[in-house]
Structure 1
């Protein structure tokens, strides 16, 4: 009986070990890409939280939610240094960048009209599959994966943080895969805000006009 119980415990423990993040990620990313994804996530955490200590990720993000859902506060714009973000891009492989992102032509639909380059989703099928897998245990990420597949775009601004705030029990923020997705989401938002300086100035001008009308 003791041996049977020991076998069960070893089986359960071994199964848990087999569910490490890297083992899951290997279905969608190479070893180099997995290393880069962790580098991306550590960078995001350091910018937002001031530390790379992964044990503090959940506490930091939870405390940051009120600022992240406040669109007018421009929290991401203020916290994430774009010059450092560009240095991050130079540290990761082209394969990693291209699996997540591409550079696309973008147009302002309002006056003054302006065409510029902006970061966008790469349309990579494996990344979509990765998001779908996360979506199996999280309704918001299921929707996010559908948007990546059907519209070909990352979700907008504050909605991710807003969902975490409204339904915290649906989010396992200790899961490294989810941390990676959160990091990619907000670094994408920061790049969209800052890649083209003229577009950024015009957007700020639009926001000021909108706020004056309130």
Structure 2
């Protein structure tokens, strides 16, 4: 996907707008990785709170046994560069309320708010967006999760080199093409996906002007691509 933004210096953001990215499991639940190596008990509780919120909004329930079937059945609708389905499913107002329930510790370990510039608008538009905190503990955790999933292994490398999160369309493509590597019953994977989709929703809705500019740019690209398709008739 074309990089439409130029990230600048991260800055702290009020608790109301906190957002985080990571993977986890609920307390007392078995896991291949010990989350306490990376997170405190309260942080692990935050991760589960986020995932339950996402599933409630996106799937209409919080039954963890139905998470995988919900994601799988939604993949065709998620294959959309304008993210129409995602925009419709997740309430930004409710998501902001979710942020107020997340601890400072969790946010500061995962996230920052960056100054960014939307490069393809005229004039260029400067704004703030959620971004990776570049915390080495999180990188280590993602690398550990990537040992059993090639996409997540590559994801960790990009996160370390580029310092930014993958587009959810890339994730959706991997879920379709390499479904055997995605154990959607694994709570760690569920939390990873929940955070990814909530992150994208945040990027789309935090600044309404950015959302409008992205839609306009996507439509322009679509029109150009149609004009370049050869007419064999």
TM-score grouping bracket, smaller chain normalisation? 0.7 to 0.9
Q: Secondary structure at the match of 1:71?
A: coil
Alignment size in residue pairs: 197
Q: Where in structure 2 are the equivalents of 1:157-176 lying within 5 Å?
A: 157-176=168-187
Q: Is the 8 A contact 1:119 1:192 kept in 2?
A: yes
Does structure 1 residue 109 correspond to structure 2 residue 119?
A: yes
Task: Select the structure that is richer in helix.
Answer: 1
Q: Which residue of 2 aligns with 1:3?
A: none
In structure 2, list runs of 5 or more residues that go unmatched: 1-27, 227-233
Deviation, structure 1 residue 167: 1.1
In 2, Cα distance between equivalents of 1:192 and 1:209:
20
Q: Which residue of 2 aligns with 1:61?
A: 71
TM-score (norm. length: structure 1): 0.87
Deviation, structure 1 residue 19: 7.8
In 2, Cα distance between equivalents of 1:139 and 1:23:
17
Q: Is the 8 A contact 1:67 1:75 kept in 2?
A: yes
Deviation, structure 1 residue 70: 2.7
In structure 1, list runs of 5 or more residues that go unmatched: 1-17
Q: Is the 8 A contact 1:41 1:183 kept in 2?
A: yes
TM-score (norm. length: structure 2): 0.80
Residues 131-164 of structure 1: CA distance to partner in whole angstroms, max 9, x if unpaired? 1111000000001111111111111130111101
Does structure 1 residue 30 correspond to structure 2 residue 40?
A: yes
Residue of structure 2 aligned with 1:42, choices 49, 52, 58: 52
Q: Which residue of 1 aligns with 2:89?
A: 79
- Structure of higher RCO (CA pairs closer than 8 Å, 6+ residues apart): 2
Q: Which residue of 1 aligns with 2:139?
A: 128
Q: Secondary structure at the match of 2:62?
A: coil
In 2, Cα distance between equivalents of 1:158 and 1:44:
17
Cα RMSD of the aligned pairs, angstroms, is 1.7
Residues 11-64 of structure 1: CA distance to partner in whole angstroms, max 9, x if unpaired? xxxxxxx98139621111110000000001111111110111111101111111
Q: Which residue of 1 aligns with 2:231?
A: none
Q: Which residue of 2 aligns with 1:151?
A: 162
In 2, Cα distance between equivalents of 1:181 and 1:54:
14
Q: Which residue of 2 aligns with 1:10?
A: none
Residue of structure 1 aligned with 2:153, choices 95, 117, 142: 142
Q: 1:21 to 1:92 in 2, by over 3 A?
A: farther
Q: Is the 8 A contact 1:131 1:145 kept in 2?
A: yes
Q: Which residue of 2 aligns with 1:14?
A: none
Q: 1:211 to 1:181 in 2, by over 3 A?
A: same
Structure whose alpha-carbon radius of gyration is higher: 1
Residues 63-91 of structure 1: CA distance to partner in whole angstroms, max 9, x if unpaired? 11111223245221221111111111101
Q: Is the 8 A contact 1:45 1:57 kept in 2?
A: yes
Deviating 4+ runs (over 6 angstroms) = none
